[in-house]
Structure 1
Amino acid sequence: MRARQLSRWTAGLVAVATVGTSTACGNTQETSTTATPERHRPAGAERAAEETAAEKAALAAYSGYLSASRTASRRSDPQEPALTRFLADPLLTRVRFSLRQARQNGAVSAGTLRSEGPTVISMDLDATPPTVEIQDCVDASNYRLIYVADDKVVPGTRGSRHLATATATRYPDGRWRISTGAAHQDQPC
């Protein structure tokens, strides 16, 4: 029974952590928007500036998410203050749950989790709330969980280099936060 629980929480923590430290696998950038009346849509240059600002803010939120996740994972601290600055539910709850599980099992992250350049692959600024989709290629090949008591590697926690995706959402306070993320370990990059 302990082995099954161990497998579940390690897989969850590695998946959550690897979403946060990915590297770009593609440079495809497209914009998708929901049809809205022309009178509500900003004009050409204004729209381009809005899209550029959204892309910049979403990528900054993603970078902050990666940094906060790395810091929290090194201590398995679900209450790391930076998490709430850059993450939102449902991802925030999932990350905190995985960190809590690691802490309860006496494990923390070690090694290097790399992001080689996330890329915006789509955005919908006319949605309620506005969203930006990000793609990254995560290199978790040098990342693992270790037991604090003896520095031994937790079985099954060695990572790989794979595709990761995330959604940045603009909330009513105007801030962009990462609300969903997925590690696609079956898709190497």
Structure 2
Amino acid sequence: MGTHRRQTLAGIACVAFTVAGCSSGESANVAEPARAPAPSSAASASSTSPVETAQQKAVDSYLRMWEDVAAVATTSDWQSPKLADHATGDALSVLSRQMYADHYNGLVTRGKPVNNPVVQSVEPPDVPTTVLIRDCSDASNWLKYRADNGQLADDEPGGKHLINAEVKLAVDGSWRVTRFAVEGTGTC
């Protein structure tokens, strides 16, 4: 078995993403920052603009996707339906393939990444159906381990990674991450 990066989602350098280029370096992962609070009543929901609502729901979906990934990565269960709760399309395909690769190579992931997503743009501007997010994810404490003996997969330190993501409104009214690109360690 070859050397494996300790960061989760190792090997994911780019997911067909036109907003940002991809580096040829290592890739990373992300997970769980504070979430924006959901509107607590119908009154507050009605005072929120469609743009604010779209941004809030897209960021929440993005964060939940990484929470799901962190949970599934503890067993590298590439067949977990949880992966599809907040991801679809290219994003879901990449996540499933990475979990399969980790399972095949006898790796699991422990810890959780820390995400700091920021909305970069919304389209269309009046009633958004697509939100682009930029994140500086810290995967320093989200590392890969060998499932058979519990030892770190390698001696490479984790770190911060720039992530660009596209989140779209689905036909069922939910928001799901459709694509993302993870840049190498130290890119943010």
TM-score, normalised by the number of residues in structure 1: 0.73
Instruction: Please give the root-mean-square deviation of Cα atoms over the aligned residues, in Å.
Output: 2.9
Contact 2:130 2:166 in 1 (8 A): yes
The CA distance in 2 between the partners of 1:10 and 1:143, in whole Å, is: 8
The CA distance in 1 between the partners of 2:10 and 2:155, in whole Å, is: 9
**Structure 2 partner of 1:174:** 173
Structure number with larger C-alpha Rg: 1
Q: Which amino acid aligns with 1:138?
A: S
Q: Which one has the bigger strand percentage?
A: 1
The CA distance in 1 between the partners of 2:177 and 2:58, in whole Å, is: 8
The CA distance in 1 between the partners of 2:180 and 2:113, in whole Å, is: 16
Structure 1 pair 165–156 and aligned structure 2 pair: CA distance change class (3 A): farther
Runs of 4+ in structure 1 deviating by more than 4 angstroms, as ranges, are 9-12
Unaligned stretches of 5+ residues in structure 1: 24-45
Identity %: 23
Unaligned stretches of 5+ residues in structure 2: 13-26, 34-45
1:62 to partner: Cα distance:
0.6
Contact 2:158 2:185 in 1 (8 A): no
Query: In the TM superposition, what whole-angstrom CA distance separates every residue of 1:97-149 from its partner, at most 9, and x where no partner exists?
Result: 1101111111100233111x31101111369x921001111111222211111
Q: Which amino acid aligns with 1:75?
A: T
- Count of matched residue pairs: 161
Q: Which one has the bigger helix percentage?
A: 1
Contact 1:75 1:108 in 2 (8 A): yes
**Structure 2 partner of 1:20:** 30
